[in-house]
Structure 1
């Protein structure tokens, strides 16, 4: 596996394909709420402007991370068949090389992501209830990689 900076013209289609596969499997509790479309739009708009890295496994994209200038992780997605193989950890390391402190938000229902970040030193510092289009509440946690 190789981690490298995102190149828009070369990587856009492959990164969006990873997102299209990974988002639903990571967020089954959001199915039918419109969150997929909104999150995809954010990813599409952020890719050319914020720091982004792509993990490549042989000839295909395995995952990606997007980090805002303030160190906030806007997205980290890994193709489901390649999870638990260190892809996410390596992408996180690439972001940590750029930013001393990282923050992110994760849905409380996304237990896999919550465990992933906490096992890498992130701590929950805040939370808020987010209401989806069906009126269902989802608790969104804010985590940081260093004490607040």
Structure 2
């Protein structure tokens, strides 16, 4: 059943026919927030979103005015991805998505690019604490990762 937070509707992904819209959201969000990402890495990640990354997670979509504006991907209690279209940033979309996946999918951990200070601050403001750090990302690239968790009493 879709959940609403003011004018944001949160719902499950309807299938791979929605992937193109999610790639557009990812592209908009990453262009606005990941200025540290090398162009070749951007292209490599973008090319694998629909084929590899989206099918590997449970996708939740945020809509405004009937149009997807954000999404979250969860696997085994870990938030693997949360992206909001640049045009919808700062409007509560990310907060609504995070609240949904924490409540309904038992999300308790997230990894954040260290260079993405905005995302790090967002998760800290939602109660996540740093529990570790890796010098390289999951693909062995030089993008340090901050490992975060929600404390047990959160």
TM-score by length of 1: 0.84
Query: Does the aligned pair in 2 maintain the 1:16–1:44 contact within 8 Å?
Result: no
Q: 2:144 aligns with which of 136, 139, 144?
A: 139
**Structure 1 partner of 2:67:** 60
- SS of the counterpart of 2:55? coil
Query: Which residue does 2:41 correspond to in 1?
Result: 34
| Other-structure match for 2:105 | 99
d(CA) in 2 for partners of 1:80, 1:43: 20
Q: How many residues align?
A: 144
The two structures, once aligned, show a CA RMSD in angstroms of 2.4
Shift of 1:73: 1.0
Gaps of 5+ in 2: 1-7
Separation in 1 of the partners of 2:84 and 2:68?
9
Structure-2-length-normalised TM-score? 0.81
Task: Work out which structure has the larger RCO, using CA pairs closer than 8 Å and 6 or more positions apart in sequence.
Answer: 1
**Following the alignment from structure 1 to structure 2, what is the Cα–Cα distance between the partners of residues 47 and 79?**
17
Whole-angstrom distance in 2 between the partners of 1:139 and 1:50: 22
SS in 1 for 2:151: coil
